[in-house]
């Protein structure tokens, strides 16, 4: 066995703790990760704004299309009524002339 003496185990634990503390002190405080996180957050916010704008535009187009279809259906009903009226007048005129 390599570390059987309690003094050796204590020295290894002490060296590990000192290494951990030095590593934390010399670390760049997470600035690399913070900048990457902020860039990703900004990119996601821009994507969400773009997606929301496209969704609003598509909803507006759908609303306009629905209104256009309603207008066309109303015009079709009006034209059908006018056509029936003209057909009745035409039949009446034919009946008078014969």
For residue 23, which of 33, 34, 15 has the smallest C-alpha distance? 15
Handedness of CA 4, 8, 12, 17 (dihedral sign): positive
pLDDT tens readout for residues 36-74: 999 999 999 999 999 999 999 998 888 888 889 999 999
Residue-level pLDDT at 55: 94
Residue-level pLDDT at 66: 87
Q: Structure pTM?
A: 0.46
Q: What is the secondary structure of 1-45 as a DSSP string? A: ----SHHHHHHHHHHHHHHHHHHHHHS-TTHHHHHHHHHHHHHHH
Residue-level pLDDT at 1: 58
Indicate if the pLDDT at residue 10 is higher than 90. yes
Indicate if the pLDDT at residue 76 is higher than 80. yes
Pairwise CA distance, residues 53 & 66, whole Å? 20
């Amino acid at each position: 066995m390599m570390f059987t003496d309690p003094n050796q185990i204590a020295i290894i634990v002490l060296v590990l703790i000192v290494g951990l503390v030095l590593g934390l002190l010399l670390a760049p405080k997470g600035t690399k990760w913070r900048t990457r996180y902020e860039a990703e957050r900004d990119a996601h916010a821009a994507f969400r704004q773009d997606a929301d704008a496209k969704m609003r535009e598509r909803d507006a187009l759908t609303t306009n299309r629905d209104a256009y279809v309603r207008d066309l259906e109303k015009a079709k009903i009006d034209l059908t009524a006018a056509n029936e009226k003209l057909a009745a007048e035409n039949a009446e005129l034919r009946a008078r002339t014969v």
